[in-house]
Amino acid sequence: MKQSKYFNPTLRDNPADAEIKSHQLLVRAGFIRQNASGIYSYLPLGKKVLSKIEQVIRKELDEAGAQELLMPAIQPAELWQETGRWDVYGPELMRLKDRHGRPFALGATHEELITSLVRDELSSYKQLPVTLYQIQTKYRDERRPRFGLLRGREFIMKDAYSFHSSEEQLDDAYKLMHKTYSKIFTSLGLDFRPVVADSGAIGGKDTEEFMALSSVGEDTIAYSDSSDYAANIEMAEVHVQYEKSDEEELPFAKGEVETSLDHQIHTTVMKVEDEMIAVLVRGDHELNEIKVKNLYGTNMVEVQNEEVDLKEFKGTVIADTAVKAIANGSIIGAYAYHNVNPDRDLSIERYEDLRFIQEGDPSPDGNGTIVFAEGIEIGQVFKLGQTYSETMGAKFLDEGGKAQPLIMGCYGIGVSRTLAAIAEQNADDNGLRWPLAVTPYHVHLITINVKDADQSDLSDRLYDSLKDEHDVLYDDRKERAGVKFKDADLIGLPLRVVVGKKANEGIVEVKRRDTGESIEVPVDNLNSTLQQLLEQMN
Amino acid sequence: MKQSKYFNPTLRDNPADAEIKSHQLLVRAGFIRQNASGIYSYLPLGKKVLSKIEQVIRKELDEAGAQELLMPAIQPAELWQETGRWDVYGPELMRLKDRHGRPFALGATHEELITSLVRDELSSYKQLPVTLYQIQTKYRDERRPRFGLLRGREFIMKDAYSFHSSEEQLDDAYKLMHKTYSKIFTSLGLDFRPVVADSGAIGGKDTEEFMALSSVGEDTIAYSDSSDYAANIEMAEVHVQYEKSDEEELPFAKGEVETSLDHQIHTTVMKVEDEMIAVLVRGDHELNEIKVKNLYGTNMVEVQNEEVDLKEFKGTVIADTAVKAIANGSIIGAYAYHNVNPDRDLSIERYEDLRFIQEGDPSPDGNGTIVFAEGIEIGQVFKLGQTYSETMGAKFLDEGGKAQPLIMGCYGIGVSRTLAAIAEQNADDNGLRWPLAVTPYHVHLITINVKDADQSDLSDRLYDSLKDEHDVLYDDRKERAGVKFKDADLIGLPLRVVVGKKANEGIVEVKRRDTGESIEVPVDNLNSTLQQLLEQMN
């Protein structure tokens, strides 16, 4: 492709709203453009990368036996009403009415639609298991779209759904998809980690997220420094054994005294469904609301903004296990006490793991110590179970002829977000640095001075001879060398071939974008040199 | 792919709402499913055909130097307000508001969006010409969605836009795209015709539609029986020379007398912008409103439901050229006259070509006679000119440094509609009959009786050996032979390999879907036989 007629508008400066590297560089290098908040166009370079990512995903899923289909973005409201999610989803679900006033949603996800598709069709255990997937555009009206493609309102997802006649079948599909995801993200050259995650409002059981490690990630991963253990901090269990000190228990008393944080007891009052619950954690720990939700098996948990006197509190009191070991602790605030010995002084109904894990905690699997990293969620695998098939009446006949709800799994990859994650992990101060698997072109052919006949003749000749073997972007523009090099660094193709002053001697310069190394190559050896370098980089 | 675990639900009966063959068969054979009126899912077989169509389109467009990008479906209302189309488009344009109450359209087309994308970027004649395209989902809230994929509300289009610094550049791009479309539709095995079309409300000049010939087409094509001439009947010019007969002119008189249709003068009153116009055509001709619009260069034409006395009429009177030659004609209705000789008796301001062409008329190019055919519009090429660039301020600097609006072309292909057109043209009473270029699989391997060990062993062996060379769908289901054959006919793969009673002798049957011919083949020759047949069919 000749760059003089290529639609690749580059910018000298970062766009004002771009806070992170991938967003800045993808816009500046002309891969994407914003059309509205959280809504983007993929320009030719960006579209090329997107297609390559999709190819990698498609290849691995097809090999895993998944079947591609394509569902619509517009979905009838009735389907969402069947599962109750029409009401549960807030303004994030984009809604519209057709000319007859009938309500529709723009699909934020496709559990309802696919369940409606299969419910009259997958009717026998003999047809199972089946895994269906699509690569398709999704809509979520994020409250705060940001970070370019990382948190958009219109974005591209690969979503897969599997259907089974038994839990064992689901387990197998889940494992296979887990393995397939690892293959996909490895092929894409990503530094990633599968982590244990929370099943959240979607319902279901086992779930893991695939996280691309990155300092700009919106999720924190807790992982072991000496094992494979990794979990979203929301989900990491805390397995610390606390021993109470031998310290003599002093008499319980009103009023605040100064103590270290690990001697303080912090209280949070929550309305759990209709019950008031006071949750205690140690002052140096942080309450993890999700653990409270999971303890009570409900999403209806509201933190109350009130202080209570624990001696007068009418609801249930529960505490994190660390609280049990506090000797002569203190409660601060409006209803302060000191010399608190929880088992003696407070009516604690149960001690549970209720706090966030911290760096330095022992790893829950018993191996090593927990450290934190930031991650971008690029994929998720999920055992849905029968939540959707039950409410939507999607049943199959088992071997005994009995009707049972289909057992389901679902598996997502944020395709456009993966593009951003790759950019985020593969960039330096000068621009992007595409891995071979997804680079829009392999070779950037640059003529230093197109007005020099030697240079421009040789460049044309090289372009003609190289373009059948390699994907070549040819900078034939009448721009200054400095502008061309800046753009080339920004765009970040793996190999650069520069035709300059030594064109009349038949010598060009070949430079690697990743290491910055450059060598002079006689044009007769150019093709083989490029071949070799590309193999080395693979 | 093994059919026992393939998501391919087939139906015995036609769906109640399916009026045409392609709709009936695509649903029955499990290629598509309706999710709401005019909104469909592509099941695995349908998705495969869709992807192959897209590949053909992409290949030819890339070869023509067009650059692929991807724009969003959601478009800010402001862009549509800039061109005024926010108001011009009726309920066909689907609209929604985001969580902040900001209005958006779901793109029915992308002229506004692409013009906004390039307006700050294509700023010099040096960057031109550029042709950009996307394959993307479009939304039009049709008043009456029908015919399956032929008239849907969510559908897939390839839309391309070209940008130029001169009319000559636009002409070249238009011609190239015209040629490219012919290549695409030829590759797809379609029986089609490019026809002259009306530029309609979109504004612009030259335009041609690509029509797949089909009795279910919603458009009528007028074409010459002896030349390449073809036009949408809306646009076909009438070049007939009428001679007035020598008949003596009788005295003009009030009142109705009986005459043949070709001696009658029919009057239609129209409000053209703010002027009242009476339009006369001969009784055996049909008024073509579009010709009136084009004559006055406006879309603001409203037919008035009133009869007028032509002798008292206060507005302008115009007539079709055929009217001039009427001798002693008659005007019927409330204000009837007879012995009307138009030039003598009526104040006709001008005679113009104002009627629809008819079968039997001479072809406007002077070669042959006009016949009609029905067609499905599958593509359109269009010289937009400066309509959008002017209103949206998309300017480039010409060689003299002067700012000028970009000169634009646009080029569409209805991708999902093309799928339906292919199905419509390639089917018989038993089912579909896919052309090689887009068939979801090449070979349908069918075991008559899977419980017979010889048959099922041989089938498994053949599947393993064939599937690396060919795209094979393997019907390994425990169904009766009749069910399998019916499904195979419905699905319509080009070649069928049947493993039956002669499995123990190593003999299978190979059958062509198109001709119905079948031969017995020893398994050792199977691969080469299939290869030969596929080459013959190509």
| DSSP assignment string, A491-518 | HT-SEEEEE-GGGGGTEEEEEETTT--E
Specify the number of domains making up chain B. Answer: 3
pLDDT reported for residue A201 = 42
Q: Which residues of B touch A139 (CB under 8 A)?
A: 74
- Is the peptide bond prior to A129 cis by the omega test (within 30 degrees of 0)? yes
Among B420, B383, B398, which Cα is nearest to B190's? Answer: B420
| A230 in Cβ contact with A221 (< 8 Å) | yes
Q: Are residues B77 and B190 in the same domain?
A: yes
Across residues B329-338, what is the average pLDDT?
94
Same domain, B75 and B161: yes
Helix (H) or strand (E) run with residue B112 in it: helix B111-118
Percent of chain A's residues with pLDDT above 70: 99
The DSSP secondary-structure symbol of A127 reads G
Residues B288 and B340 in one domain: yes
Average pLDDT on B1-24 reads 94
Per the CB < 8 Å rule, is B130 touching A5? yes
- In this structure, what token pair is assigned to residue B146? 């029908």
By the 8 A CB rule, do B49 and B40 touch? no
Query: Is the residue at A13 inside a domain?
Result: no
Q: What share of chain B is helix, strand, coil (3-state, %, to 5)?
A: 30, 30, 40
Is pLDDT at B297 greater than 90 in this prediction? no
Q: Exposed, middle or buried: residue B97 (CB in 10 Å: 0-12, 13-18, 19+)?
A: middle
pLDDT value, residue A203: 47
% chain B with pLDDT above 70 = 99
Q: Is the Cβ of A437 closer than 8 Å to some Cβ of chain B?
A: no
Instruction: Tell me how far apart the alpha carbons of residues B400 and B390 are, in angstroms, rounded to a whole number.
Output: 19
The interface predicted TM-score (ipTM) is 0.89
User: Helices B415-425 and B44-63 sit at what angle, rounded to 10 degrees?
Assistant: 110
How far apart are alpha carbons A494 and A59 in whole angstroms? 23
Q: What is the CATH number of the domain that holds A336?
A: 3.90.960.10
Mean pLDDT of chain A, nearest integer: 94
What pLDDT sits at residue B202?
42
When mean pLDDT is compared across A59-68, B9-18, B175-184, the lowest value belongs to B9-18
Q: Which of B347, B343, B339 is nearest to B312 (CA)?
A: B347
Claim to verify: residue A261 and residue A207 sit in the same structural domain: no
pLDDT digit string, tens, across residues A444-502: 999 999 999 999 999 999 999 999 989 999 999 999 999 999 999 999 999 999 999 99
Mean pLDDT of chain B: 94
CATH number, domain with residue B505: 3.40.50.800
Dist CA B315 CA A299 (whole Å): 73
Would you state the pLDDT for residue A300? 87
Q: What was the pLDDT predicted at A245?
A: 83
Vertex B148 angle, CA B146 and B151, to 5°: 50
For residue A25, being part of any structural domain is answered with no
Q: What is the mean pLDDT of residues A386-400?
A: 96
Q: What is the DSSP string of B492-529?
A: T-SEEEEE-GGGGGTEEEEEETTT--EEEEEHHHHHHH
Note whether A266 and A384 are same-domain residues.
no
Is B135 contained in some domain? yes
A104 in the same domain as A189 = yes
Q: Do B99 and A143 touch (CB under 8 A)?
A: yes
Judgement on whether residues B415 and B473 belong to the same structural domain of the protein? no
Task: Give B166→chain A minimum CA distance, Å.
Answer: 15
The residues near A110 (Cβ < 8 Å, ≥ 6 apart) are A71, A75, A134, A136, A159, A161
Give me the mean pLDDT over the B373-400 stretch.
96
Alpha carbon distances (Å) from A100 to B34, B143, B144, B150: 18, 9, 11, 21
Distance in angstroms (rounded) separating the CA atoms of residues A133 and A161: 6
| Mean pLDDT on B123-149 | 95
Q: Cβ–Cβ of B154/A69 closer than 8 Å?
A: no
Examine the pLDDT at A202 and tell me if it is beyond 50: no
Is B33 part of any domain?
A: no
Does A94 touch chain B if contact means CB atoms closer than 8 Å? yes
Same domain, yes or no, for B413 and B446? no
Q: Does B118 touch chain A (CB under 8 A)?
A: yes
Q: Identify whether residues B300 and B376 lie together within a single domain.
A: no
Strand A103-106 to A39-42 pairing: unpaired
Within a domain: B57: yes
- DSSP letters of B265-310? EEEEEEEETTEEEEEEEETTS-B-HHHHHHHHT-S-EEEE-----T
What are the residue ranges of helices labelled H in B152-230?
Answer: 167-187
Closest by Cβ to A40, choosing from B46, B72, B121: B72
Given a cut of 70, is residue B199 above it in pLDDT? no
The span from the CA of B538 to the CA of B162, in Å, is 33
Last residue of a domain, one of A404, A424, A444: A424
Query: Are residues A155 and A197 both part of a single domain?
Result: yes
Please determine, for residue B320, whether its predicted confidence score (pLDDT) is greater than 70.
Answer: yes
User: Which token pair is B399?
Assistant: 């060689």
- Whether A123 is in a domain gets the answer yes
CATH assignment at residue B126: 3.30.930.10
Cβ contacts of B113 on chain A, cutoff 8 Å: 35, 41
B46 contacts in chain A (CB < 8 Å): 69-70
Task: Say whether pLDDT at B200 is over 80.
Answer: no
Contact: A7, B74; criterion CB under 8 Å: no
Report pLDDT digits (tens) over B245-261. Answer: 888 999 999 999 989 99
Q: What is the pLDDT of residues A347-388, one digit of tens each?
A: 999 999 999 999 999 999 999 999 999 999 999 999 999 999
Angle at B284 between CA B279 and CA B290, to 5 degrees: 45
- Whether residue A316 is found in the same domain as residue A407: no
Task: Among A39, A106, A132, select the one facing B7 at the smallest CB separation.
Answer: A132
Burial class (CB in 10 A: 0-12, 13-18, 19+), A327: middle
CB A398 within 8 A of CB A363: no
Peptide bond into B15 cis (omega under 30): no
Which one of B31, B39, B70, B71 makes the best mutation probe of the A interface by having the most chain A beta carbons within 10 Å? B70
Pair A344, A492 in one domain: no
Nearest to B25 by CA among B36, B37, B35, B12: B12
Residues of B in contact with A40 (CB under 8 A): 72
Task: Tell whether A42 lies on the interface with B, counting CB pairs under 8 A.
Answer: yes
Instruction: Give the model confidence (pLDDT) of B412-430 as tens digits.
Output: 999 999 999 999 999 999 9
Place of tokens 């299978």: B508
In a domain, B32, yes or no: no
Q: Which residue of A has its CA nearest to B479?
A: A126
DSSP collapsed to 3 states, B209-252: EEEEECCCCCEEEEEECCCCCEEECCCCCCCCCCCCCCCCCCCC
CA B8, chain centre distance (Å)? 28
Å from A308 to nearest chain B CA?
37
In order of A84, A109, A111, A134, B155, the CA distances from A159 in angstroms are 21, 8, 9, 6, 20
- By C-alpha distance, which of A218, A72, A212, A195 is closest to A145? A218
Question: Any chain B CB within 8 A of the CB of A339?
Answer: no
pLDDT at B206 over 90: no
Task: Convert the pLDDT of each residue in A43-65 to its tens digit.
Answer: 999 999 999 999 999 999 999 99
Q: In which domain, by residue range, is B299 found? A: 253-352
Rounded Cα distance between A116 and A425, Å, is 39
* Chain B residues whose beta carbon lies within 8 Å of the beta carbon of residue A99: 91-92, 141, 143
How much is the pLDDT for A199? Answer: 58
Which residues from chain A sit within 8 angstroms of residue B6, using beta carbons?
Answer: 67
Alpha-carbon distance A383 to B74, whole Å? 32
**Is the residue at B458 inside a domain?**
yes
Which of A406, A424, A442 is the last residue before a domain boundary?
Answer: A424
**Rounded mean pLDDT, B30-47:** 97
* CA-closest candidate to residue A142, choices A199, A95, A216, A91: A91
Instruction: Tell whether the model's pLDDT for residue A105 goes beyond 50.
Output: yes
By DSSP bridging, strand A507-512 and strand A495-499 are: antiparallel
Predicted pLDDT at B201: 42
